[in-house]
Structure 1
Amino acid sequence: MVYVILFAFVAGFLALRLYAVLGKRTGHEQAMPKTAEERIPVPSIPRSIDIAPEVRETGSRNIEAGAETGLRQVIQADSSFDVAQFVEGSKAAYRMILEAFWKGDEETLAWLVEDDVRAGFSQAIADRNAAGHVLENRLVAIERAAIVEASVESKTARIAVRFDADIASVTRDKDGNVIAGSLSDAVEVRDIWTFARNLRSDDPNWKLVETDEA
């Protein structure tokens, strides 16, 4: 089965940070020991991103200390949840969301985010267009993605994922002149995105509800 995660953003804050190309921040998977009863599933989305259905990490690369107790709560509440697949899906969504925003692809963003959050993205894109700025950004690599926190409250699960990524960015003016950045020098970025899902819902999709710097 192919799994994908659908996320929605905290509008103004995330849009502003994406518009800033994430370039002012700096940064490069931990498997939680699972019992037989703790086998886990991954969220999905209506479009296809190729993600291996049986990704299994050994060791502790995609879960950081302190997140295990919360993840066990998520697993107890949703026996189909899979840590490794969730992390892989979050990485795919991270790339899709960034690229859609950089391109000003509001149709894709409309699918990926909620209405109020989409308004924030739309405003940021409108401001960028009004200034005549064009972003030529590239996600060079996601060096690491790890779950740093998890919890379940009132049947709503929240999982925070830290992304250490390398991003090359260039901003051009309306005449095509480079006014900021460089595609030859990638910037180290460290983000923490928090995803949430109502476990009572039949909708398997997770939404991004908060972002922060690592």
Structure 2
Amino acid sequence: MPEIIILACVALFVAFRLYAVLGRRTGHEQPIVKPADMQQAPLIARPQIEQQPAAKAEPMGAVAAMIDPQALDGVRQIVAADPHFDVATFLDGARSAYRMTLEAFWRGDEAELRKLVDDEVYDAFAESIAARKAAGETLENKLVSIERSMIDHAGMGGQMAIVTVRFDADIAAVTRDAEGHVVAGSLSDAVQTHDLWTFSRHVKADDPNWILIETDEAA
């Protein structure tokens, strides 16, 4: 596990959108968590994505492949505000956060989610878990692979560095009812998913950690 880890990575309509991680194709919903106020987004004491200098600089070509061209100027803004920002190191932590957060949500592990995400994201996740439990349903999902992760958008909002990561992944998903019968999905047929997760950090804060402030489904 990379040494930088995310342990962070409102209505019923919002809660239902969370299942986009599994895709509407599988019959699950995914909540979208609205971004926090970028000027006032709190930094939480628990560790999230911890940004430190990379041990070795990545070649420029390799770094460029990790960033959508439209995000290059935004990444430059972040580097200007925080010279320690490293793209490869950041994306390593983001991938770990993606896997850990999804697995905690699928298990319905609210205690683990509390450690992994900020309060607003947690509230949306918890609402979806409650709806699932009320329906007597359980999920048997597996993140088969993350085919690609890259910075989709980036920039500065005041003193807040804001980075959106696109994840293209294969997820096998099964929903079972209270009797254990499969009501949706298949573990033998992985679904391609395309997600956008947004992270934020105050560049002048002593705390080097990033927090997850929004999840969405990519076009």
TM-score norm. by structure 1 comes to 0.80
Equivalent residues in 2 for 1:33-44, closer than 5 Å: none
Closer/same/farther in 2, CA of residues 102 and 11 from structure 1, 3 Å limit: farther
Partners of 1:124 and 1:136 in 2: CA distance: 15
What is the Cα-based RMSD across aligned positions, in Å?
2.8
Moved over 6 A (4+): 10-14
Between the two proteins, the alignment pairs up a number of residues equal to 193
Q: Report what 1:77 is aligned to.
A: 81
Long gaps (5+) in structure 2: 27-45
| C-alpha distance in 1 between matches for 2:73 and 2:103 | 33
- C-alpha separation in 2, matches of 1:47 and 1:24: 29
Match of 2:194, as an amino acid? R
Does the alignment pair 1:141 with 2:145? yes
Per-residue deviation, 1:21? 4.9
Note the alpha carbon deviations across 1:126-164, whole angstroms, 9 max, x for none.
111111100000000000000011111211010111100
Q: Do the aligned residues in 1 keep the contact of 2:145 with 2:171 (CA within 8 Å)?
A: yes
Q: What is the TM-score normalised by the length of structure 2?
A: 0.78
Give the residue type in structure 2 aligned to 1:4.
I
- Name which of structure 1's ranges 10-19 and 120-129 shifts more when overlaid on structure 2: 10-19
2:202 maps to 1:198? yes
Structure 1: unaligned runs, 5 residues or longer: 27-44
1:212 Cα deviation (Å)? 2.4
| Alpha-carbon contact 2:165-2:198 (below 8 Å) kept | yes
How far, CA to CA, are the matches of 1:198 and 1:46 in structure 2? 14
1:73/1:118 CA distance change after superposition, 3 Å: same
Question: Any idea what SS the aligned residue of 2:17 has?
Answer: helix
Q: Percent identity?
A: 53
